[in-house]
């Protein structure tokens, strides 16, 4: 194997780990470029690996390796203990459109314990009529918690959607001390 093909092989490798949290087992994956996927709800590591293969078709090797993700794993556990954590120090390997990346950038600026509406996010990216598209970008976010899409709610005070389910969204908002209205409505 030439040195160039060996480097290409390493660049097409994903490392992953999993650990228990109050919302279930979280699976976390990274490429050489940065963290690329955070997810939960899988029955096994095999199911997660299958998802990674579907998501990152260029990847040849997926390796379970806790050592590549110790810092982020520690910070996520700290987050679940109710402490504000900044994930800005971690390199991310985001896969999305330019629009989605603009939305995700705005989401990453929402402080712990605060929320924005889909409309406010659309205004911050300079597209005030794109609130529904912002919802779609939130749903396409592969790094919930790290890019806190759970901190975006509907203008009427409803939760809106969340790819991890509304039960988890409520849990994350409550964890951050965000008071929810008693009768939240879906938009």
Active-site positions read 149
Q: What sign has the CA pseudo-torsion 158, 42, 92, 71?
A: positive
Residues 6+ apart with CB under 8 A from 147: 87, 92, 104, 107, 108, 141
The Cα angle at residue 15 between residues 11 and 17, in degrees rounded to 5:
165
Query: What SS3 string covers 65-108?
Result: CHHHHHHHHHHHHHHHCCCCCCCCCCCECCCCCHHHHHHHHHHH
């Amino acid at each position: 194997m030439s040195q160039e093909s060996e480097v290409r092989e390493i660049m097409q490798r994903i490392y992953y780990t999993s650990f228990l949290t109050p919302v279930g087992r979280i699976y976390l994956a990274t490429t050489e470029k940065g963290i690329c996927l955070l997810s939960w709800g899988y029955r096994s590591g095999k199911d997660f690996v299958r998802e990674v293969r579907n998501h990152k078709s260029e990847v040849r090797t997926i390796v379970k390796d806790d050592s590549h993700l110790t810092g982020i794993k520690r910070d996520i556990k700290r987050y679940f203990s109710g402490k504000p954590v900044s994930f800005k120090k971690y390199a991310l390997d985001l896969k999305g459109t330019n629009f989605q990346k603009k939305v995700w950038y705005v989401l990453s600026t929402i402080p712990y314990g605060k929320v924005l509406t889909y409309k406010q996010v659309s205004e911050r990216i300079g597209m005030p009529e794109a609130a529904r598209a912002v919802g779609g970008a939130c749903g396409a976010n592969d790094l919930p918690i790290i890019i806190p899409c759970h901190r975006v709610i509907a203008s009427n005070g409803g939760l809106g959607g969340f790819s991890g389910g509304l039960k988890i969204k409520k849990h994350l908002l409550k964890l951050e001390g965000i008071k929810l209205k008693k009768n939240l409505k879906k938009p």
